[in-house]
Amino acid sequence: MTIKQALSRARGILAGNNIEDVPLECELLLRHALKISQTQLYLDLDYELSPKQEDAFWRLIKRRLNGEPTAYITGHREFYGLDFYVDPHVLIPRPESELLVETALGLAQNHPLFTIAEIGTGCGAIAISLALSLPEAKIYATDISAAALKVALLNCQKHGVIDRLYLLQGDMLDPVPEPVDLIIANLPYVEESELAQMSSAKFEPLLALNGGSDGTEMIRKLCCQVGSKLRPGGCLLLEIGQGQRRAITAFLHTLFPNGEIKVVPDLSSIDRVISLSLTTSKPELANAQLSVQDYEPEGPFDAKKVGETSRGAAIAAIANNPRQNPQGNKG
Ligand SMILES: C[S@@+](CC[C@H](N)C(=O)[O-])C[C@H]1O[C@@H](n2cnc3c(N)ncnc32)[C@H](O)[C@@H]1O
């Protein structure tokens, strides 16, 4: 069987299996089985596969048919034109997250970004893409998962940014040692109840997907912390899931009434990135945290009601939720 015939047969097998780009995935899997580049593949379409090579390729196709993502099978994923090493300890970077990088780079044109913190870095794709485009910036990249940070470290070494990208383990902004100009995050935002129907959830880390009961718990938790870790005039960029715009913008508005909030849609016209720019010289959350003390519990936080919730209540709802605040801190 030639390369051309193997590709054609594999396309037929994978078609109709809820795979987004069957031709591309077949090509990536065949290249992985044969250990050849894309150019070699196209130059040698009539190359005759040995029985051993054929066997290796069909075993990969079988794994893909069983739902395992191609990126985990090959150990690679392209993001923002760069190749990243990935394994099942990290989320496979999604194309829509490139919008976060683009938005940050757009911001950098009008606003010097000397220090940046990426929260929940996973394989490091966002932080490393920024480090390569903004060579002057000092970047902190945090993750609660030590296993994810090991993957990020390999990618920092691969892309030569280890001298100015600091990998830190910890919860949200806790490990970031100083206020920064930009906080950027693609935190887990899948509703807990939807995880069971998500095919990739069988393979990708739950820690990278689970956004709690309404999908916004992790994002809201971060929002409550940014006031103390953003420099005056600093900016927060968040990736959000479909349908989360209203809840998150309303929540940010309660926390930062003077902040400027913008929403950026992705190529599918889904609201994907929310930016908050602090316009005041004084971190506003410092005031908000004081009002937590006056809060009377109202029951579980309801994202739909956030517009009606007082600033103190919104923060206290987080502080009182053990899943969002395992240490039981009040702020
Ligand atoms: C949706 S993934 C994003 C990974 C990567 N930034 C990307 O866009 O491909 C979310 C990441 O947040 C991390 N994470 C989850 N909870 C966290 C927390 N409380 N503090 C810091 N990171 C957290 C997960 O381990 C995971 O790597």
pLDDT tens profile 238-247: 999 999 999 9
Q: Flag whether pLDDT at 273 surpasses 90.
A: yes
Residue 18: its pLDDT value, please? Answer: 81
Within 8 A by CB and 6+ apart from 13, the residues are: 61, 65
Q: How far is the CA of 264 from the centre of ligand 1 (A)?
A: 21
Specify the DSSP class assigned to residue 295: -
Q: Flag whether pLDDT at 289 surpasses 70.
A: no
In this chain, the answer to whether the domains covering 3-74 and 95-319 adopt an identical fold is no
* Closest C-alpha residue for ligand 1 atom 27: 122
Nearest-angstrom CA–CA distance, 5 and 1: 6
Q: How far is the CA of 16 from the centre of ligand 1 (A)?
A: 31
Specify the DSSP class assigned to residue 102: H
Residues in the chain: 331
Is 210's C-beta closer than 6 angstroms to any atom of ligand 1? no
- For residue 292, CA distances in Å to 281, 310, 318 come to 22, 10, 10
Q: What is the mean pLDDT of residues 181-196?
A: 96
Task: List beta partners, residue 70.
Answer: none
Residue 280: its pLDDT value, please? Answer: 56
Residue 305: its pLDDT value, please? Answer: 28
Is 125's C-beta closer than 6 angstroms to any atom of ligand 1? yes
CA 194 to chain centre: 18
**CATH code at 3-74:** 1.10.8.10
Coil, strand or helix at 2: strand
Ligand 1 site-directed mutation target among 97, 143, 167, 169, most atoms within 8 Å of CB: 143
End-to-end alpha carbon distance in the chain: 64
Q: How far is the CA of 1 from the centre of ligand 1 (A)?
A: 43
* Closest C-alpha residue for ligand 1 atom 7: 93
The token duo for 199 is 């095919």
Structural domain spans, the chain: 3-74, 95-319
* Closest C-alpha residue for ligand 1 atom 12: 120
Q: Tell me the whole-structure pTM to 2 decimals.
A: 0.85
CA 28 to chain centre: 23
Q: Flag whether pLDDT at 34 surpasses 50.
A: yes
By the 8 A CB rule, do 188 and 209 touch? Answer: yes
**CATH code at 95-319:** 3.40.50.150
CA 150 to chain centre: 16
Least confident of 90-99, 262-271, 294-303: 294-303
Residue 157: its pLDDT value, please? Answer: 97
Confidence grade of residue 281 (pLDDT, cut at 50, 70, 90):
low
Q: How far is the CA of 42 from the centre of ligand 1 (A)?
A: 37
Question: Phi/psi at 269 (nearest 5 deg)?
Answer: 65, 25
Is 216's C-beta closer than 6 angstroms to any atom of ligand 1? no
Nearest-angstrom CA–CA distance, 84 and 256: 36
Q: Flag whether pLDDT at 204 surpasses 70.
A: yes
Confidence grade of residue 296 (pLDDT, cut at 50, 70, 90):
very low
Higher-pLDDT residue of 18 and 164 is 164
Least confident of 3-12, 202-211, 298-307: 298-307
Mean pLDDT of the chain: 86
- For residue 230, CA distances in Å to 12, 39, 115 come to 52, 46, 10
- Residue 311 burial (10 A CB sphere; 0-12, 13-18, 19+): buried
Nearest-angstrom CA–CA distance, 60 and 14: 11
Using the atom order of ligand 1, give the atom closest to the CA of residue 172.
20
Ligand 1 site-directed mutation target among 103, 145, 224, most atoms within 8 Å of CB: 145
Give the dihedral of Cα atoms 65, 68, 72, 77; nearest 10 deg.
70
The token duo for 205 is 């880390």
Q: What is the mean pLDDT of residues 310-327?
A: 31
Confidence grade of residue 201 (pLDDT, cut at 50, 70, 90):
confident
Tens-place pLDDT, residues 189-199: 999 999 988 88
Is 92's C-beta closer than 6 angstroms to any atom of ligand 1? no
Q: Flag whether pLDDT at 328 surpasses 60.
A: no
Quote the percentage of the chain above a pLDDT of 90. 79
Residue 198: its pLDDT value, please? Answer: 87
Residue 54: its pLDDT value, please? Answer: 96
Q: Flag whether pLDDT at 236 surpasses 60.
A: yes
Higher-pLDDT residue of 45 and 328 is 45
Is 190's C-beta closer than 6 angstroms to any atom of ligand 1? no
Is 207's C-beta closer than 6 angstroms to any atom of ligand 1? yes
